[in-house]
Amino acid sequence: MAHILNIKTDQRIIIMKRQFYTTGVFLLVITLIFSSCNQRPAKVKENQVKNSKGQIGTVEVEIFDAVKLKDQLVDIIKTAPKPTELVDFINKGGYSYMADLTLSTDKAEKYVTLAEQSMAAGIYKFDLYYAKTYNRYDIVDQIFDVQQMLVGKIGLQSDVASMKKYDERIKQNKGNSDSLNVIVTAAMNELSQSYLTGEHSGVYALSYVSANIEGLYIITQIASMATDNTELIKLIGLQKERVKTNYQLLEIMSADPAVAPIFDKMKPILNSFSSPEFTAKQFAEVTPLIAALRNEIGK
């Protein structure tokens, strides 16, 4: 009898262990489900989607958070080639200033979203340095006014006050090119430093990318029109690191629907620089790609 009781007791223990194990697994699964829910992005939005049967539903999409990625963006830009170097290359090559290649200031009012305004600010910043280098202070004055407006729309209030101060000095020194050179350079450096140390790394990254695209656009267009573009093609071929950096920044921000199409257009441009040697063939391939991208962000 004792032996039978022991067997029954053992069976009860086995059954209890199984029940405990099953309950434990169930609780673990539930815990993992809730844990994964709690780890969802802090910022999401719902997008409407339609399936093949015409049924409408919603999916959650993560919204790009530039503040979260500030350090990563800033670290890349700190060591990256500067857009202004492209202007210096053009100037030292003896090429004339071509205002028709720059972005018209009349378009500035068209940019309404933060991404559009940030990229327009970058294009105008390059054009500002381009005009300054060639002592076209009549154009510098126009672009500076546009930059002030865009900075205000973007919401960089501290920079608005700073640019207003420089704008007054520019207008007071219109006839003095040496003074204007110093004032405009100081204004541009102060604005860049503000972007770099502030909480607007996404704005800074987009404006950096668009300034580089503007520079690549202008230099490739000049090369296309030059009678002998051999040296310019060599110079453009050396911009692989610049193109790669812009690609990396756009890739980081590509979760933003406004940035994604720009990133997609940057991929074939990077591919054009993948060959060990950059030839006239690669130049012919990449020039219309750069033009299409620049016209996309400056349209």
Q: Domain coordinates of the chain in residue numbers?
A: 2-62, 70-297
The pLDDT value recorded for residue 90 is 94
The pLDDT value recorded for residue 270 is 96
The pLDDT value recorded for residue 295 is 94
In terms of Cα–Cα distance, which of 198, 127, 202 is closest to 157? 198
The pLDDT value recorded for residue 62 is 45
The pLDDT value recorded for residue 26 is 32
The pLDDT value recorded for residue 188 is 75
Amino acid at 133: T
Q: What is the pTM of this model?
A: 0.74
Amino acid at 170: I
What are the C-alpha distances in Å from 190 to residues 35, 227, 241?
45, 39, 25
Rounded-to-integer distance, Cα 161 and Cα 290, Å = 35
Rounded-to-integer distance, Cα 258 and Cα 69, Å = 17
In the chain (299 residues long), the average pLDDT of successive 10-residue segments reads 42 45 35 32 44 46 54 84 93 94 95 93 94 91 89 75 74 78 78 63 88 97 94 95 95 92 96 92 96 93
The pLDDT value recorded for residue 269 is 97
Taking the chain, what is the end-to-end CA distance rounded to the nearest angstrom?
93
Contacts 24+ apart (CB under 8 A), 276-285: 277/237, 278/233, 278/234, 278/236, 278/237, 278/238, 278/240, 279/233, 279/237, 280/233, 282/237, 283/220, 283/223, 283/229, 283/233, 283/236, 283/237
CB within 8 Å of 164: residues ≥ 6 apart:
148
What are the C-alpha distances in Å from 113 to residues 110, 175, 229?
9, 36, 38
Contact 129, 188 (CB under 8 A): yes
CB within 8 Å of 95: residues ≥ 6 apart:
222, 226
The pLDDT value recorded for residue 155 is 77
- How, if at all, do strands 56-62 and 44-50 pair? antiparallel
Rounded-to-integer distance, Cα 43 and Cα 4, Å = 63
Concatenating the DSSP letter of every residue in 139-189 gives HHHHHHHHHHHHHHHHT-HHHHHHHHHHHHHHHHTTT-HHHHHHHHHHHHH
The pLDDT value recorded for residue 68 is 60
Rounded-to-integer distance, Cα 232 and Cα 229, Å = 5
